[in-house]
């Protein structure tokens, strides 16, 4: 078995124009302590370069006392809409910035002590490293052959697990059932031309995983020590430096397609072998293993048998056939609550007006507006929220099984489409889909088959105007949409489970209060969104990260049920791999 030939690329360096470099990060020397200053206000047209001096002023320190400075988080505050503040353009909107300041460890001041007591300053979260600090001698003992790791899946969990493992001395092979990027794009184009689904290379499978055909959202709600080093690696591979602090950071599908070859080239230079168009088809158990802790000696693939010492499973959240094979081979699975709903689309201009108040200058400064909407549960429906919002984006067919249709969204870095879309989803559990580890998968398939049939059986999507959905009536026609296969009038309200229909109806009414017109005639519900979360989990030991009952299988990422997006998947893969380096084989 051999990896697909490719020309490794040199990793790119961070841009000199990044906000943190402008802000004046200085190298620290001697013992230091890092504090996070919360809530600096920044007008929309105010340069970031002045934040360093303002932060020093807040803490009452001279700039020369500062050992280092970086922006930790920058977010848009739209809560003051309706009354203007400041003199900058669109003063009713502003940025809120958190900044990290590196000071001598013995630095003390009354002002700093007061701000710490008030909660306006806190110690900054620890920053970890993807470089191994300690490697167990069972992995890298002198004179011993390198331990062999097989990683299934080239999405973020698999890639960052591979990066950590190869840095720790493992011989790493990445198996990817889909194609490398260029071939993947060609096969996806063929699907759009022929309307014949490709089960192996599609929006979901192939180099980079499903995230390759999203807009590369990098949101996470946790302060994980590995978050910063993961983002720094992405910048090194070509992502914009702003992802290091932007609260709504994204890369863009177009930039992801430029980044992935650099990423792969970097790993290949380190010795990682990539085997594309290669499916995992079976597990080869070590006959000497006891019944309590089974161990693998190899895996069976579509290209032959591959020996290993450890197996990292990062198959992605749509690898249903792989899950079924693993379950038959003895890997434990549990059902997991997941989200389902529909993809809603509006003119981007409607969202801009709702978020920016119709100020064209603000729109020029900030670009296409986004939203994050939540409706709490009530007597007339459960909780509903927006997910994977794509400003200036388009709706795509998220398909890997013939005869089934699921929608998703993506956008390029410029957000230049005239449409905005997002999933509106509700969480469902065993009370909706029933008992059994794959009952949620069965519900997903049932809904996707119904959506496929309602669209006419050729990946045209059923669609219903938001106003018609709320009124419980069929749409006579559908406005233009970004969905590439086209739409036809359908009853989204009848395709959804009743629990989800009520929650979406309640949410659409509530969201009208946040964005006028959201629940009106300009909104369109397109298809069913069934794969915004993984419906299964592979239980693993809390301390070691191993799959329950196995000595050398490590399930990671979204497809294992432990993550929900690019960043959380990357963090999970890197964290479990780092733990293995310390604990040993």
All structural domains of the chain, each given as residue ranges with its CATH number in brackets, are 19-123 (3.30.70.2700), 143-333+539-583 (3.50.50.60), 338-529 (no CATH)
Query: What per-residue confidence (pLDDT) applies to 12?
Result: 37
- Judge residue 545's burial from the number of C-beta atoms within 10 Å of its C-beta, 0-12 exposed, 13-18 middle, 19 or more buried: buried
Report, in angstroms and rounded to the nearest whole number, the Rg of the chain calculated over CA atoms.
25
CA distance 131 to 165: 10
* Cβ atoms within 10 Å of 377's Cβ, excluding its own: 13
**Contacts of residue 463, Cβ cutoff 8 Å, sequence gap at least 6:** 475, 478, 481, 483, 487, 488, 489, 490, 492, 524, 525, 526, 527
Sheet holding 68-77, edge to edge: 68-77, 94-104, 32-43, 121-123
* Cβ atoms within 10 Å of 396's Cβ, excluding its own: 24
DSSP bridge pairs for 343:
423, 526
CB 313 within 8 A of CB 326: yes
**How sure is the predictor about 136, in pLDDT bands with cuts at 50, 70 and 90?**
confident
**Contacts of residue 145, Cβ cutoff 8 Å, sequence gap at least 6:** none
Q: Is the pLDDT of residue 19 over 70?
A: no
CB 397 within 8 A of CB 409: no
pTM of the model: 0.91
CB 525 within 8 A of CB 469: yes
Query: What per-residue confidence (pLDDT) applies to 289?
Result: 53
Nearest to 253 by CA among 390, 125, 350: 390
Which range of 17-21, 73-77, 247-251 scores highest in mean pLDDT? It is: 73-77
Tens of pLDDT, residues 78-117: 764 443 333 333 446 899 999 999 999 999 889 999 999 9
Look at residue 286 and give its three-state secondary structure.
coil
Tens of pLDDT, residues 392-419: 999 999 999 999 999 999 999 999 999 9
DSSP string, 449-477: HHHHHHTTSSSPEEEEEHHHHHHT---S-
Nearest to 400 by CA among 323, 338, 335: 323
DSSP string, 473-528: ---S-----S-TT-EEE--HHHHS-HHHHHHHHHHHHHHHHHSTTTTSTT-EEEEE
H helix or E strand, kind and range, residue 553:
strand 553-555
CB 88 within 8 A of CB 43: yes
The string over 25-63, giving b where at least 16 C-beta atoms fall within 10 Å of a residue's C-beta and e elsewhere, is beeeeeeeebbbbbebebbbebebeebbeebbebbebee
Mean predicted lDDT score pLDDT of the chain: 90
DSSP bridge pairs for 174:
151, 274
CA distance 464 to 483: 13
CA–chain centroid gap for 403, Å, is: 27
Nearest to 72 by CA among 248, 224, 228: 228
CA distance 140 to 416: 50
DSSP, res 263: H
Query: What per-residue confidence (pLDDT) applies to 3?
Result: 38
Query: What per-residue confidence (pLDDT) applies to 199?
Result: 98
Q: Is the pLDDT of residue 219 over 80?
A: no
CA distance 551 to 391: 45
Query: What per-residue confidence (pLDDT) applies to 291?
Result: 59
What average pLDDT score do residues 58-74 get? Answer: 93
CA distance 267 to 83: 51
Query: What per-residue confidence (pLDDT) applies to 521?
Result: 94
Two structure tokens written together for 553: 């299988």
Nearest to 463 by CA among 308, 343, 578: 343
CB 179 within 8 A of CB 212: no
């Amino acid at each position: 078995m051999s990896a697909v030939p490719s020309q490794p690329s040199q990793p790119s360096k961070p841009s000199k124009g990044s906000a943190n470099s402008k802000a004046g990060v200085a190298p620290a020397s001697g013992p230091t302590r890092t504090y996070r200053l919360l809530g600096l206000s920044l007008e929309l047209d105010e340069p970031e370069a002045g934040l360093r001096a303002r932060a020093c002023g807040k803490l009452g320190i001279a700039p020369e006392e500062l050992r280092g400075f970086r922006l930790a988080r920058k977010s848009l505050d739209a809560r003051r809409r309706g009354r203007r503040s400041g003199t900058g353009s669109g003063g009713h909107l502003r940025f809120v910035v958190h900044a990290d300041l590196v000071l001598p460890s013995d630095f003390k001041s009354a002002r700093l002590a007061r701000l710490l007591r008030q909660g306006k300053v806190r110690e900054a979260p620890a920053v970890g490293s993807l470089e191994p600090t300690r490697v167990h001698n069972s992995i890298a003992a002198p004179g011993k052959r390198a331990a062999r790791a097989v990683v299934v899946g080239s999405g973020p969990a698999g890639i960052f697990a591979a990066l950590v493992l190869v840095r720790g001395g493992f011989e790493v092979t990445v198996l990817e059932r889909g194609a490398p990027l260029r071939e993947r794009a060609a096969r996806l184009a063929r699907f759009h031309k022929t309307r014949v689904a490709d089960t192996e290379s599609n929006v979901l499978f192939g180099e980079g995983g499903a995230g390759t055909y999203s807009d590369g959202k990098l949101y996470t709600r946790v302060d994980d020590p590995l978050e910063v080093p993961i983002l720094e690696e992405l910048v090194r591979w070509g992502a914009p430096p702003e992802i290091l602090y932007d609260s709504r950071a994204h890369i863009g599908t177009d930039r992801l397609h430029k980044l992935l070859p650099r990423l792969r080239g970097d790993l290949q230079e380190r010795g990682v072998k990539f085997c594309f168009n290669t499916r995992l088809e079976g597990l080869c158990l070590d006959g000497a293993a006891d019944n309590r802790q089974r161990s693998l000696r190899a895996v069976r693939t579509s290209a032959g048998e591959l020996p290993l010492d450890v197996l990292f499973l990062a198959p992605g959240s749509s690898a249903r056939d792989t899950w079924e094979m693993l379950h038959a081979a003895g890997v434990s699975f549990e059902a997991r609550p997941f989200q389902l709903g529909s993809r809603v689309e509006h003119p981007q201009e409607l969202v801009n007006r709702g978020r920016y108040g119709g100020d064209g200058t603000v729109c020029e400064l900030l670009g296409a507006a986004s939203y994050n909407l939540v409706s709490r549960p009530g007597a007339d429906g459960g909780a509903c929220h927006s997910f994977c919002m794509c400003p200036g984006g388009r709706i795509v067919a998220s398909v890997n099984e013939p005869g089934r249709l699921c929608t998703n969204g993506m956008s390029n870095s410029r957000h230049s489409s005239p449409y905005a879309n997002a999933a509106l989803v509700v969480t469902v559990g065993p009370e909706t889909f029933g008992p059994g580890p794959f009952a949620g998968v069965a519900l997903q398939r049932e809904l996707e088959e119904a959506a496929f049939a309602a669209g006419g059986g050729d990946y045209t999507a059923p669609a219903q105007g938001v106003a018609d959905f709320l009124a419980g009536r069929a749409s006579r026609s559908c406005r233009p949409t970004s969905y590439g296969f086209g739409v036809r009038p359908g009853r989204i309200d009848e395709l959804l489970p009743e629990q989800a229909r009520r929650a979406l109806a309640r949410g659409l009414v509530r969201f009208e209060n946040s964005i006028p017109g959201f629940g009106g005639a300009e909104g369109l519900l397109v298809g069913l969104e069934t794969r915004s979360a993984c419906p299964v989990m592979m239980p693993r030991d809390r301390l070691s990260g191993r799959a329950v009952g196995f000595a050398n299988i490590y399930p990671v990422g979204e497809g294992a049920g432990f993550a929900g997006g690019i960043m959380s998947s990357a963090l999970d893969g890197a964290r479990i791999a780092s733990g293995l380096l310390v604990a040993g084989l």
